[in-house]
Structure 1
């Protein structure tokens, strides 16, 4: 066996150093990625590869920032953001909540399937971001603890993301690098049947076994979510008109209360006194097709939002001792006339400064020091209201979804994925076109694009592409492939695939799956050449291995996203993730052997 060249040794040293830096976690992902790019650029400038000049090394180091895979990833992030901010995925979320009310186990099964299929065409992170608050809220209402559902849900999202070339950014990287190596292009659903079959094997483990391996990690929270008192006016077209309160209570959030509920059937324009969390009030307004503020001010807010092309925001504001609102009621406050904002509800602490707070039943609440107002409006109007009336804006402001654009955002995503899946356009072109349409139609706004794009992902992908190229161009990939092939040549094809998959899985669980993909793909390609095997199943073994990132919290960003909400420890990921990795590796290796006749 030949000795690796100086450049190959240096390339492997840089790669190992990057892996160690990621695993230790003392520096952020962005810093490690940028340092890696800098080391490659400076090293190749002073010590160019054979047959190249110093500036060629600079082009190699920074090539990732202009790579079409990175452009595609950013475009998909923008489209995913469009689905979230327009509320296009909310119907699925509401359906899921209703299923959980029927049966907890059935709800978990449906949730896993929903997460799996959504993540096939939508980036993993937006799917989990949408579903995460639903599961946390359900746990707070007495359903399955979040600690028993979030890791299985995350695993379902990751398996679904493995099923298509656009499911994750890692898949795109592997496919693009394989194309650079001379392999034919893969369509969006090229390897979906293999993953669907493996998912059928993994689903019972996710649904029935994994939750039992996780404890109830719920901790008592100080206080709770604020409950707001509001008056809801039933809309003229409400489907619940003519029904009694007792008949519709099951269709409303469990934490919504009716104060002095009226007798008889509901009538148009009838006002109901209700109490609930912010989310409960929103759900009540949606179900009853009613409004919690005067219709004229809500209409004005929406008109101003449309003309100014600015999102409507809902914030919580605390009443201070200097506020002019103290001892006034909402009807006498003149808030809507003066500032053009709408107060949706009032939260009244039971005590303040040790004094019990009691309101007279049947009357409007008189605002007092310490009350919290739930206020809707445009940012400038909200700031003017808070400044003029001595209110303190609290954390937790959120923008209302632009639901009028929900169908349009969904159509853009379906059109983009559809044209790529039938081969009408390359995925880079269809994704870029979809992102542009998201901007042009107002589903995503230019000034909010920073929320759609992740700087961490951008620099990580750029660094990963640079590392992959230096591993390949320096001869390190060829040398590693030759070395590994010496040990793999005596193994059956299924074991070769399994060993490659486990090797890449080990890297992706302790470093970056994107980096593992760019390093593992050329190595697998060279092993295929050394052993005389078809390259495609070995490339897919790398792709699958990069997605088997269940065993550590640092393996993927969604793993970290659920860690705090589930109160997870490192051992929780190992206990549940290692068996899943072994199960998926065995199943996928056998399926690849059968599919490709090896």
Structure 2
């Protein structure tokens, strides 16, 4: 009874949301440790309770989850997933509905091998940007995209941390280990049935929550230099314009074909300038400066950073142009562009005879370099460094990061190594090869996930060892003993789904897995389909924003209300429960 009370209290605390998840998790661990010390389980010592309460921190499932987080971080910081994102944007330009369908399929398949959160973090800005350019509103696309990511993450044992948790608990209960793609066909068939709902129905159930008053991004003026080895040399600019972002403006229109080393006066947001630089195969700063920064980055092992700096009244740069400022020689940084209000750009006295813009007080410079060099530049030339600096992806490591992830997934999928070993090996390779820096591990790991998983493992163990799971299993078995197998599976799935949507999928997994195992024993059914019913139920977290971290991630970007999740998520939950229950009965001959 005490174990069930602690579990219920944790569920209620999660559902109320008044305290952070980390605090609730740590309090749960503390209550279990103190409670078992003064009231130990039968046949155990007081110190055994401490070992049980803190066992989650040393559990191989938690180590595996952390290793997968590190590998997912490697894919993000190296830009390994960017080609897929660019392809998606081109498809959207052809047709909005086709773009949404391709996006859902891409999200589904990517999340089968990559943790849900990195996939959504990569794709979400694309949908927000497309909405700003007149495509489908973000509020109509982000919930369907999130649902596709969650369904894809359900399809493999490594798709989400919850799947690893359920499989590891099942192994502890005596079941054989499941391979990475052990039940993937079942989920893919269910996904095929659910896809029309995600694609055609969900967007219609969601309103347009677009906010009209959005902050305008700064536009930077720059000279884009055509590289000597560019394949665009000799090509007319008009033939390239359709491939460029619509945000790019040309302030001089060259006559005739483009020539190597030609400088084009363009303006656009930072993201648009990067896209134009990639398409036109050029540089926003002299190539020797960029090469120097990259060499220093490789030698020092530091990431290249891009930051915005405001020119103050005391700066020596005022009235100078970039070529005459000596910035690159003095500080080893590259100025990629200058922002100035459009209403001031037409004044001819602001340009030198060579056509370069003279720097004025209040201009915002877009500067690239190493952190130390950027700080020296700001201090010496009286510049105010603005917030929002971002590190450039280490694209030279992109293929390597993708290869490491594929290697880890492949070796685990065919049974060469257990998933814990292959994930740890992959994380170590990410560190050794420089795809993930040791000082950036904190960004890869989520403290919330770590303590939540640790608390969930402790809750699962005390529910099991105190006899609470056995009692619940017997009670549920009595109510389910006269039902057909499909109804038993559906009932278990719905029970776990209810827990995961109002509490935590990790805690629902640790409580539901031993209960399902006990029900299978009581009813004489094969345990594996019931364990899978728990696994599937833990992933059906569409109906509330607190059910999963990606649900919260899209809430502000889509300006969603609680009812948006209920209106779109509840029908999807019942659809998936029905389809998955029938598929499990058919697959296992029940």
Residue correspondence of structure 1 range 71-470 to structure 2 within 5 A: 71-350=63-342, 358-360=346-348, 363-470=355-462
Pick from 514, 517, 533 the counterpart of residue 522 of structure 1. Answer: 514
Q: Does 1:32 align with 2:24?
A: yes
Give 1:392 deviation, angstroms. 1.5
Give 1:357 deviation, angstroms. 5.6
Q: SS at 1:317's partner residue?
A: strand
Q: Does 1:66 align with 2:58?
A: yes
**What is aligned with 1:474?**
466
**What is aligned with 2:562?**
570
Q: SS at 2:283's partner residue?
A: coil
Q: In structure 2, how many angstroms separate the alpha carbons of the residues matched to 1:326 and 1:574?
A: 56
Q: In structure 2, how many angstroms separate the alpha carbons of the residues matched to 1:239 and 1:446?
A: 38
Give 1:350 deviation, angstroms. 3.9
Q: In structure 1, how many angstroms separate the alpha carbons of the residues matched to 2:316 and 2:574?
A: 65
**What is aligned with 2:48?**
56
Q: SS at 1:229's partner residue?
A: strand
Give TM-score scaled by structure 2 length.
0.98
Q: In structure 2, how many angstroms separate the alpha carbons of the residues matched to 1:216 and 1:210?
A: 13
Runs of 5+ consecutive residues of structure 2 not aligned to the other structure: none
Moved more, 18-27 or 363-372: 363-372
Give 1:349 deviation, angstroms. 2.1
Residue correspondence of structure 1 range 485-564 to structure 2 within 5 A: 485-564=477-556
What is the aligned-residue RMSD (CA, Å)?
1.0
8 Å Cα contact 1:229/1:347 also seen in 2:
yes
Q: In structure 1, how many angstroms separate the alpha carbons of the residues matched to 2:94 and 2:311?
A: 41
8 Å Cα contact 1:359/1:365 also seen in 2:
no
Give 1:54 deviation, angstroms. 0.9
Report Cα offsets for 1:480-504 as digits up to 9, x if no partner.
Answer: 0000111111111111111110110
8 Å Cα contact 1:227/1:275 also seen in 2:
yes
Q: In structure 1, how many angstroms separate the alpha carbons of the residues matched to 2:459 and 2:194?
A: 33
Q: In structure 2, how many angstroms separate the alpha carbons of the residues matched to 1:38 and 1:75?
A: 26
Give 1:317 deviation, angstroms. 1.0
**What is aligned with 1:5?**
none
Give 1:358 deviation, angstroms. 3.7
Q: In structure 2, how many angstroms separate the alpha carbons of the residues matched to 1:359 and 1:597?
A: 79
Give 1:223 deviation, angstroms. 4.0
Q: In structure 2, how many angstroms separate the alpha carbons of the residues matched to 1:223 and 1:495?
A: 52
Q: In structure 1, how many angstroms separate the alpha carbons of the residues matched to 2:347 and 2:504?
A: 57
Give 1:236 deviation, angstroms. 2.1
Give 1:334 deviation, angstroms. 1.3
Give 1:222 deviation, angstroms. 4.3
Q: Across the two proteins, how many residue pairs are aligned to each other? A: 586
Q: In structure 1, how many angstroms separate the alpha carbons of the residues matched to 2:511 and 2:320?
A: 67
Report Cα offsets for 1:201-227 as digits up to 9, x if no partner.
Answer: 000000000001111100023441111
8 Å Cα contact 1:517/1:546 also seen in 2:
yes
8 Å Cα contact 1:349/1:370 also seen in 2:
no
Report Cα offsets for 1:290-335 as digits up to 9, x if no partner.
Answer: 1000111111101110000000000111112222211211111111
Q: SS at 1:188's partner residue?
A: coil
Q: SS at 1:552's partner residue?
A: coil
Q: SS at 1:93's partner residue?
A: helix
Q: SS at 1:481's partner residue?
A: helix
Q: In structure 1, how many angstroms separate the alpha carbons of the residues matched to 2:371 and 2:336?
A: 16
Q: Does 1:583 align with 2:575?
A: yes
Q: In structure 2, how many angstroms separate the alpha carbons of the residues matched to 1:222 and 1:255?
A: 16
Give 1:239 deviation, angstroms. 2.6
Q: In structure 2, how many angstroms separate the alpha carbons of the residues matched to 1:317 and 1:137?
A: 24
Q: SS at 2:265's partner residue?
A: strand
Report Cα offsets for 1:107-142 as digits up to 9, x if no partner.
Answer: 100000000000000000000011111111111111
Q: In structure 2, how many angstroms separate the alpha carbons of the residues matched to 1:83 and 1:471?
A: 37
Give 1:359 deviation, angstroms. 3.3
Give 1:565 deviation, angstroms. 0.6
**What is aligned with 1:6?**
none
Give TM-score scaled by structure 1 length.
0.97
Q: SS at 1:40's partner residue?
A: helix
Report Cα offsets for 1:425-466 as digits up to 9, x if no partner.
Answer: 000000000000000000001010110000000000000000
